[in-house]
Structure 1
């Protein structure tokens, strides 16, 4: 039996050396799969497996449609998201009408298939994606009003509480459910990071104070190496 390592391990080790020695720095684009095949004499699938291994190690980041890049080796600063608040800063978003899935319908207490306004958000920190959010609002609540688009129109971008107040609905602090899970591959591609990393997954729902009905529900995905969630408030110190 040969003691030679599998071809993909050999290629991964060569790329790892080139990163560790500084030939490729943080954020640099790495050779394409075609270039790897030419450089090392193996098939493209070998290069894919090598990069896949380095992704798991956190050395390499795959960016959909762009290729492979050296991941950041610096420990990121920890950001804080407080109970009942969104995530402040810059967002990229897109909204469209959709039909409520069964899980979303259950959270909004509407029928599956009912129309909702669905908005996808990517939080940007220094221009780089750092968190994800999706929100759903029943069209029965906001349809035909000036707040139907969460991030456009005269009330765009001011937050759920203020937007709902504009149509006479008072909402209080949301109900939140926080769990831990790992990043999916699609989420990792959007965040330009490695799949499988830990995240805080927050289900947030705002309710109409007068009727108790849900008027908005959202999913926030906060990478655990970047974010902490803070709950409760310390009373003022006296004496």
Structure 2
């Protein structure tokens, strides 16, 4: 059996000491040089061990200051559901938003609930050539013009979610709803905007997968590069099975737990 990499062994020891409370929350750890001497390894081994624990959410690095035991953050529940009880409220407490839309129908995946996004920044571009992966998801040819919109959602002034939406211009070009956040139905969501031009949405498909935050995502979300995030690839289809929008959502794991709720068809 191969030996465990030295940095993993150091990370395990540091993790055990943190869990045992040797360093309090918010307390700075000893320097890399001191820990390297204590464990008889190189500083680069200690740095890799710390990076591992930063990625696991136990530590946080502060530029020019050192590495600290991370302060635990409250994880708010984000319910993704089209199932609603009699009064439009799910058993998990996520109500319909002010537009009456279910979570999949709002702004690129935004949901109304405790800790909900109460502010957002958006930026749309038109006639953006579809990259190959996006073209495949939208069943169009690579290079076909699209409208792409970048969202940054905030809750209480804190960033909680990112989203990048793509819509084929073949569907909305020349209509009043070509831009999701401008025009008569600005911010009303994909379903209502499409309905206004005679396109009826029937199906929403979501593919969630765990990932690590890229430096760019971490910078926008106020987390550390390598932190766990949930990436949700969502595509919306009309009644003919044509994709009319696809989006990539990024949700920081340290801030939110995502719950999927499904209704059951009754005979």
Q: TM-score, normalised by structure 1?
A: 0.69
- Contact kept, 8 Å, 1:61 with 1:194, in 2: the verdict is no
Alignment of 1:55-94 (within 5 A): 58-60=59-61, 73-83=71-81, 85=103, 86-88=109-111, 89=117, 90-94=119-123
Q: 1:75 Cα deviation (Å)? A: 2.3
- Contact kept, 8 Å, 2:27 with 2:68, in 1: the verdict is no
Indicate how the Cα distance of structure 1 residues 166 and 58 shifts in structure 2: closer, same or farther if over 3 A, else same: farther
- Contact kept, 8 Å, 1:55 with 1:61, in 2: the verdict is no
Q: Which runs of 5+ in 2 are unaligned?
A: 1-22, 29-46, 83-102, 104-108, 112-116
Indicate how the Cα distance of structure 1 residues 116 and 233 shifts in structure 2: closer, same or farther if over 3 A, else same: same
CA distance in 2, matches of 1:169, 1:101: 24
- Contact kept, 8 Å, 1:206 with 1:217, in 2: the verdict is yes
CA distance in 2, matches of 1:79, 1:234: 22
CA distance in 1, matches of 2:183, 2:69: 38
Q: 1:58 Cα deviation (Å)? A: 3.4
Aligned residues: 189
Alignment of 1:87-106 (within 5 A): 87-88=110-111, 89=117, 90-97=119-126, 98-106=128-136
Quick one: which of 134, 139, 142 aligns to 2:172? Answer: 142
Partner residue, 1:183: 213
Partner residue, 1:20: 27
Q: Secondary structure at the match of 1:59?
A: strand
Q: Secondary structure at the match of 1:227?
A: strand
Q: 1:55 Cα deviation (Å)? A: 5.5
Partner residue, 1:221: 250
Q: Provide the alpha-carbon RMSD of the alignment.
A: 3.1
Partner residue, 1:157: 187
Indicate how the Cα distance of structure 1 residues 68 and 105 shifts in structure 2: closer, same or farther if over 3 A, else same: farther
Q: Secondary structure at the match of 1:155?
A: coil
CA distance in 2, matches of 1:58, 1:218: 31
CA distance in 1, matches of 2:158, 2:150: 16
Q: Secondary structure at the match of 2:229?
A: strand
Partner residue, 2:222: 192
Q: TM-score, normalised by structure 2?
A: 0.62
Q: Secondary structure at the match of 1:152?
A: coil
Q: 1:60 Cα deviation (Å)? A: 3.5
Runs of 4+ in 1 over 4 A off after TM superposition: 52-57, 67-72
CA distance in 2, matches of 1:189, 1:69: 18
Q: Secondary structure at the match of 1:151?
A: coil
CA distance in 1, matches of 2:70, 2:122: 25
- Contact kept, 8 Å, 2:150 with 2:163, in 1: the verdict is yes
CA distance in 2, matches of 1:121, 1:72: 27
Q: 1:72 Cα deviation (Å)? A: 6.7
Q: 1:71 Cα deviation (Å)? A: 9.2
